[in-house]
Amino acid sequence: MSLITRSGALRLFVRARTFSTVPPPRLRRPGRVLVLSSALTTSVLGYVFYNDASNTEPAPFDTRTLSDLLRAYIVYGTCSIAPLVDAAPTILDTLFSIPGVSKIVESFVRATFFHQFVGADTANGALPLLTSLRAENKGALFSYAVEVDQKEVTGQTNMEGQPVHKRIIEEIIRSINASADFEDGRDAFQDGHIGRRTWVSVKLTAMLPNAQSLINLSTHLTNTRAQLEPPVLFPGTPSPSDLSILHSSASTGTLTESDIHDLNELYSDLVQICTRAEERGVRVFIDAEYSWYQPAIDAFGHALMERFNKLPSNGFLRTWWDMSSWTSSPSARKSVDDRMRPLVYVTYQTYLRRMPAHLTHSLALAHARGYALGVKLVRGAYHPYEVAAHHLARSADSAVGSPRSLSISPDPEPPVQPSKDATDQCFHDCATVLIDAISQDVHRSGRFGAPSIGVFFATHNWTSCESILEELVKKGLGVVERVGVNEMQEDVVRIPLEVGERIAFGQLYGMSDALTNYLVGRTRCERPCVIKYVPFGTLVQVMPYLSRRAIENKSVLGAGGATRERKGAAALIWKKMKGLVVS
């Protein structure tokens, strides 16, 4: 009875409201503005998304989930707004300093930019990602993405009283162990450390108390290196005697006693890292940085390659793939570790005008000194900063009280290429030289000979990747095959194992996923040929990396790059949504 009464009362209430002449309460002006703004924003966003999706062809071979694509669309939609990208560091610093707001901003950044571009808080935390990547036939290049502010780093310690750079070195070693543990757990066939595709990169400026020591060493090398013929433009090219200055305990020219002590300690730490990497079968990549650090970085890199990439003394007859040595004794197992070459890779930036002369000299130096050359070929990420620093240094020569520039180049022109086209052409020329060197190495050493060269093509450029594949086929390092059935047939490039041990493609995690997936679909090899560069670190630690990554990689995110990524994500979202409706 009570239920009927309530229902009757409800009908009377509704009828009364229906025929009431009292006007409904009106929204106040702020409310109307909010509703209209929301409606307008939703309409604009809907139109932009429809326009992006309908005018873009979905990329083939893409395996991203709908949630991954939605996150990518939000992130690259934000990165498409150039002024916002440039102001990002200032905006984030301001928002993170506001109590209450900082937690909201942190949650947003973690759910979007952090998960888009960072693998995890720790190397071990990224193991599920490694498993996911390997299931898609992709490898990983770990990077502890902690960027040290040189204005604050000198003498800085953490809460336990440990120097910051020592903590970073320990974290790099932990990432080597995590990489090796992941590969060890895959299958017994990889016990010989051949075919492993989980590697580690290091950034030298973060590995000593004060990065000024690297600048001082670079200045010393620029002033004292012997002139070559033909000359190599700044920042020059390494010499076997570059680090001989570290045997001195007294200050010399631009180097103080403190510099020499810290640089010696850096070399010892790098040897420790590379020794552990050799024991665990993990390749080590040395990142390139600004040109004022580069002479010193090159010197350390080539010294490490000469020590850890040493080729067998009896030439190329000693094999890197000898199944009989996998069996029993520690000495036999150690011989397999010795044959993992190259172990150490150095980064070559093709936006520097010294290329390809620097590359040619490096190939000759490695051959003369008997070590395998490891090359990570990139375009470069610091072009506008290099130009600005060079011009500032030139103007400071005649201007009293001018801001200090870090540039140490003695050349009248900036050390970088004058245009993006020149950089692209240089990358193409260097890639051609390297593929030719790989071809000669494979034909000279045979299928199972110790590699004297390894190349990691780190590029987000579709044209470059297609050109490299074509050059591999042209040199007989890959074979085009037709796979699939009927209308689903497609051409792929089959890369033999001995070539796969010498080459790989790479893109940054969270960037150019369409290209990464395309390369995976276009190649066939016994081991992954495509690598994702996976940064890791806590959100607080990687915030400088996230903001700087957006600014420094204008070649990827700028010049329409972010817009292309956004439209590509929209097309795939639209394709998946239509698939859900049809199914």
- What the block records as the tokens of 215 is 């600048």
Q: How confident is the model at residue 32 (pLDDT cuts 50, 70, 90)?
A: low
410, 394 in Cβ contact below 8 A? no
Report the b/e string of 288-311 with b at 16+ CB within 10 A: bbbbbbbbbbbbbbbbbbbbbbbb
Measured CA to CA in angstroms, residue 500 lies from 173, 194, 378, 438, 528 at distances of: 26, 10, 19, 11, 8
- Classify residue 402 as left (phi > 0), alpha (psi -120 to 50) or beta: beta
- pLDDT for position 42: 60
Q: How confident is the model at residue 2 (pLDDT cuts 50, 70, 90)?
A: very low
Who's near 386: CB < 8 A, 6+ residues apart? 290, 291, 407, 414, 415, 416
Q: What is the pLDDT of residues 531-568, one digit of tens each?
A: 999 999 998 888 877 776 666 555 454 456 777 788 88
- What the block records as the tokens of 182 is 């992941």
What does the alpha-carbon distance between residue 256 and residue 250 come to, in Å, rounded to a whole number? Answer: 7
- What the block records as the tokens of 413 is 């022109």
What does the alpha-carbon distance between residue 366 and residue 345 come to, in Å, rounded to a whole number? Answer: 12
Where is pLDDT greater, at 121 or 318? 121
Here the contacts of 389-396 (C-beta below 8 Å, separation 24 or greater) are 389/290, 389/292, 390/414, 390/415
Q: What is the pLDDT of residues 430-453, one digit of tens each?
A: 999 999 999 999 999 876 788 999
Measured CA to CA in angstroms, residue 396 lies from 150, 151, 195, 391, 401 at distances of: 22, 21, 51, 8, 8
- pLDDT for position 210: 93
The three-class DSSP label of residue 379 is: coil
Name which of 396, 456, 459 is nearest 424 in CA terms. Answer: 459
- pLDDT for position 487: 67
Q: Tell me the pTM.
A: 0.85
- What the block records as the tokens of 75 is 């992130």
348, 375 in Cβ contact below 8 A? yes
- What the block records as the tokens of 3 is 């239920």
> Which of 110-124, 266-280, 296-310, 484-498 has the weakest average pLDDT?
484-498
AA identity, residue 146? V
Dmax over CA atoms of the chain, in Å, equals: 106
| Pairing label, strands 479-483, 490-494 | antiparallel
Q: Which of 157-171, 202-216, 437-451 is predicted most confidently? A: 202-216
Residue positions counted in the chain: 583
Mean pLDDT of the chain: 82
What does the alpha-carbon distance between residue 408 and residue 405 come to, in Å, rounded to a whole number? Answer: 8
